[in-house]
Amino acid sequence: MPPTPETERWRRWAQQRLHQPVALVPVDHPGQEARVLEVRGERGTLAYLKQHRVADKWRREQTILALLADPPTPVPPLLATDSSGLLLLLGVLPGTPATRITLSAPERRSLHEQAGRFRRRLDTIPIGAPDPTPVIAAMARRHRAWCERARGHLSPTVLTRVERVFDPGCFEGTTRRWCHRDLAPHNWIVEATPGGPRLGILDFGRARPDVWLVDVLELWDRCWVDDPSLPEAFWAGYGRRPDPGESRQLQQLALLHGLATATWGDRHRDAARSRHGRITLHRALEALGR
């Protein structure tokens, strides 16, 4: 990449911490909320440098990665941080992105079981000071915000149905837990081992305390649709299935997820996202049965 004064500062910072000459190669995509660059040495990739644009997201990502380091968890090791530049230097997880390899049915089930165990691990991590906004109020606020943005994109009939079935009351008394918030195969890396595939989890840029079931949404609305063995594997790894109250919460979260995805897709002229959001929204409305 052509160096700029900013990227040259980043390169020198990474070089000092890795104690060898390095080059930076962009690997991020347009529209991402953080810049990601591969840090290359003479013998290949040494690390990844992530530069956040939002201070709160930098703080949350470095916090959760540090907390997951003990006991060790299959996430990128946090090698160094810089608060002034909102930089994270992340170690390399061995393996191949899950979306780039062909997996057998048993391998897919194994990865989902490991994802369930990872979700259980997140449950054990303290969140520090509780959020001053109760979950029930936060969900009502999300609903209002996305309904307002959806006007002019979704039909009045659909929005009326969403208003009728939305029920923030099922979140009464719910407490937040650390969440990845994008726990899906596009953020999984798979290492082949003699004992089978080993799952690693990437990209904690959206991580923050939330309703733990948000980590199920990207699975529920995609790869679980056509293969019921995958949720069974995930819940086996997690250690239990959702109780009836949590199942209701998942349906409500799916409703908001579909609403947000369809609207975001429309506003950004992303036809695939718009279509998928409408499919998710329809499934959620059908699940809620009204």
218-238 residue pLDDT tens? 999 999 999 999 999 999 999
Give the mean pLDDT of 134-153: 96
| Distance between CA atoms of residues 139 and 154, nearest Å | 20
**How far, in whole angstroms, is CA 171 from its chain's centroid?**
21
Find the mean pLDDT for residues 82-91.
97
Give the phi and the psi of residue 186 in degrees, each rounded to 5.
-70, -10
pLDDT of 92: 95
Half-sphere exposure of 221 (CA within 13 A, CB side): 32
Please tell me the distance from the alpha carbon of residue 215 to that of residue 236, in angstroms, as a whole number: 16
What per-residue confidence (pLDDT) applies to 129? 79
pLDDT band (50, 70, 90) for residue 59 = very high
Poorest-pLDDT segment among 13-17, 111-115, 124-128, 213-217: 124-128
CA distances from 180 to 2, 61, 120, 121, 213 (A): 33, 9, 12, 11, 10
One-letter-per-residue 3-state SS of the chain: CCCCHHHHHHHHHHHHHHCCCCEEEECCCCCCCEEEEEEEECCEEEEEEEEECCHHHHHHHHHHHHHCCCCCCCCCCEEEEECCCCEEEECCCCCEEHHHCCCCHHHHHHHHHHHHHHHHHHHCCCCCCCCCCCHHHHHHHHHHHHHHHHECCECHHHHHHHHHHCCHHHHCCCCCEEECCCCCHHHEEEEEECCEEEEEECCCCCCEEECCCHHHHHHHHHHCCCCCHHHHHHHHHHCCCCCHHHHHHHHHHHHHHHHHHHHHHHHCCCHHHHHHHHHHHHHHHHHHCC
| Residue 268: exposure state from Cβ atoms within 10 A (0-12, 13-18, ≥19) | exposed
Q: Which pLDDT score, from 0 to 100, does residue 70 have?
A: 86
pLDDT of residue 222: 92
| In the predicted structure, residue 191 carries a pLDDT above the cut 70 | yes
Confidence of residue 3 (pLDDT cuts 50, 70, 90): confident
**Is 1's pLDDT higher than 80?**
no
User: What is the rounded distance in angstroms from the CA atom of residue 4 to the CA atom of residue 129?
Assistant: 39
Mean pLDDT of the chain: 94
Average pLDDT over residues 140-149: 96
Mean pLDDT in residue range 143-166: 95
Q: Is the Cβ–Cβ distance between 286 and 258 less than 8 Å?
A: no
Q: Which of 61, 66, 79 is nearest to 203 (CA)?
A: 61
pLDDT for residue 265: 96
Higher pLDDT, 179 or 131: 179
190-212 mean pLDDT? 96
pLDDT top residue among 131 and 147: 147
User: For the whole model, what pTM was predicted?
Assistant: 0.93
